């Protein structure tokens, strides 16, 4: 038992050390890491321990392995971690949980925009998502519609200039998109009725853009909170 604990501690030590080197740019994106033999000699551990450490880095998406070519530092993408976590959580949350979370985060993002200098390009980007949603609605393309719907709300979080809002939104991105994609498939409506509902929802997104543009976000939020506003589009 003690030996197994020592091996685990050694692999974690190597993992931390290599990750620290990557963080401090000792190795840059695209760089090849030393071979397993060289790393084993550097840290005074076995190749098995090195392989465990590299597998931990691989699982995080920090490195990639190439057959016969060793391990290379990848350009880090936060989504690699969040997508994996979301897959574990997807069956542990309800639709109500998702909607409550989204209301809290998105409304706080909208509030922050009242004290932020709005960029015309940002508003144009939001309108572009609305147009893309309308195009998908007319085609009956639920999946692409859901993707653009998610990107619309994520962009509002991004406009708040709070990085944690974006990271938090991305954390549950896979769950929210799956929820959005299933919404229209489970409705007991004709295809034409679903199309109309999707266009209506896209129109409500345009109302959000208008409210951001003319500074009436607080009024919009008040309607949402009072229940007198159509449910925040999903």
Q: Does the pLDDT value for residue 105 go beyond 80?
A: yes
Residue 232 lies in a domain: no
Residue 21 CB neighbour total at 10 angstroms:
14
Number of structural domains the chain divides into: 2
**Domain, as residue range, for 30:** 2-73
Distances (CA, A) of 58 to 171, 184, 199: 19, 37, 42
Q: Does the pLDDT value for residue 124 go beyond 90?
A: yes
CATH number at residue 222: 1.20.120.530
Are 100 and 202 members of one domain? Answer: yes
CATH number at residue 8: 1.10.10.10
Strands (E), the chain: 63-66, 70-73
Q: How far apart are CA 187 and CA 44, in angstroms?
A: 61
Look up residue 14 and give its two tokens: 């190597």
Q: pTM here? A: 0.65
Are 60 and 95 members of one domain? Answer: no
Query: Average pLDDT in the 160-174 region?
Result: 84
Are 139 and 109 members of one domain? Answer: yes
pLDDT at residue 79 in the model: 66
Classify 214 as helix, strand or coil. Answer: helix
Are 158 and 183 members of one domain? Answer: yes
Q: How far apart are CA 213 and CA 172, in angstroms?
A: 27
Are 48 and 131 members of one domain? Answer: no
* Nearest one of 103, 94, 117 to 169, comparing CA atoms: 103
Are 22 and 68 members of one domain? Answer: yes
pLDDT at residue 190 in the model: 84
Distances (CA, A) of 160 to 105, 121, 164, 179, 210: 11, 14, 10, 24, 16
Are 138 and 193 members of one domain? Answer: yes
Residue 140 lies in a domain: yes
């Amino acid at each position: 038992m003690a030996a197994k604990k020592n091996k685990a501690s050694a692999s974690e030590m190597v993992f931390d050390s290599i990750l620290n080197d990557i963080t401090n740019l000792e190795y840059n994106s695209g760089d090849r890491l030393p071979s397993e033999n060289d790393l084993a000699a550097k840290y005074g551990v076995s190749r098995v321990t090195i392989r465990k450490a590299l597998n931990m880095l691989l699982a995080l998406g920090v490195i990639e392995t190439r057959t016969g070519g060793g391990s290379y530092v990848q350009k880090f993408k936060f989504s690699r971690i969040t997508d994996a976590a979301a897959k574990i959580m997807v069956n542990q949350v309800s639709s109500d949980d998702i909607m409550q979370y989204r209301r809290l985060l998105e409304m706080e993002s909208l509030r922050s925009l009242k004290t932020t200098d709005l960029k015309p390009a940002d508003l144009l980007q939001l309108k572009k998502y609305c147009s893309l949603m309308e195009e998908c609605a007319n085609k009956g393309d639920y999946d692409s519609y859901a993707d653009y719907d998610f990107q619309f709300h994520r962009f509002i979080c991004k406009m708040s200039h709070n990085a944690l809002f974006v990271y938090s939104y991305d954390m549950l991105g896979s769950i929210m998109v799956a929820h959005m994609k299933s919404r229209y498939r489970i409705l007991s409506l004709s295809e034409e009725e679903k199309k109309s509902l999707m266009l209506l929802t896209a129109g409500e997104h345009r109302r959000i853009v208008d409210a951001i543009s003319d500074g009436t976000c607080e009024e919009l939020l008040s309607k949402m909170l009072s229940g007198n506003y159509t449910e925040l589009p999903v």
